[in-house]
Amino acid sequence: MRVMKVFLPVLFGLALASSAEAQTVKIGYIDSQAILDQDPSARTAQQQFEASLATYQAEVQQMGADLQTLIEQYDQQQAMLSDEAKANREEEIRLKQTQYQQRISELEQQASVRQAELVEPVMERITAVIEEIRAEGSYSMIFDVAAQGIISADPALDLTAEVVRRLQAAFSPANSGNTGQG
């Protein structure tokens, strides 16, 4: 009983201390999609990716056109070809179709790798700015509203504009050569 008299006030004190500490938790949130839409380096990376993609698409379109021409020529000449010539042309078409499909797969992989190369430094910059804001503002947590984990939030907690402002300031014309890569 005597132990309980000593233990309960200590337990109550700890509960109050942890309750007071819990009240000092500072939370903010960002909208990563809005940040990506407004970050100049993200737009630059997207433009570079689209340029790479255009090159890949042009190659695929040319290969597709060549394959289509080969098929059309075969269709036009089929009646005049011997069985052996038909078999050879059909094999040539199958080979070209296989090469076409393989090249599409290769280009899709290259596009994926290129996108990752371009996105990584952008995401590192954004994460660094968010971490800087978190540390400066003594935020315990910063959530991403675009991740759809937040149902409702006080707009005063939204740090998106601050992240965008800092990213744009870092990407000003004087710093345009600075891509955030050391």
> Which candidate, 95, 3, 116, places its Cα nearest to that of 49?
116
For the stretch 27-40, pLDDT in tens is: 888 999 999 999 99
> Which candidate, 78, 79, 103, places its Cα nearest to that of 89?
78
Question: Phi and psi of 14, rounded to 5°?
Answer: -65, -40
Reading the block at residue 170, the tokens are 């870092």
For the stretch 63-121, pLDDT in tens is: 999 999 999 999 999 999 999 999 999 999 999 999 999 999 999 999 999 999 999 99
Q: How many domains is the chain partitioned into structurally?
A: 1
The parent domain of residue 125 ranges over: 26-175
For the stretch 150-171, pLDDT in tens is: 756 778 888 899 999 999 998 8
> Quick check: is 114 in a domain?
yes
CB 167 within 8 A of CB 30: no
pLDDT given for residue 13 in this prediction: 44
pLDDT given for residue 112 in this prediction: 95
Helical axes 160-170 vs 83-136, angle rounded to 10°: 110
166 C-beta neighbours (distance < 10 Å), count: 18
Indicate the pTM of the whole model.
0.64
Distance CA 179, CA 182 (A): 8
> Quick check: is 153 in a domain?
yes
pLDDT given for residue 117 in this prediction: 96
> Quick check: is 3 in a domain?
no
CATH number of the domain bearing residue 76: 3.30.910.20
Distant-in-sequence, close-in-space partners of 153: CB < 8 Å, separation ≥ 6: 29, 143, 145
> Quick check: is 119 in a domain?
yes
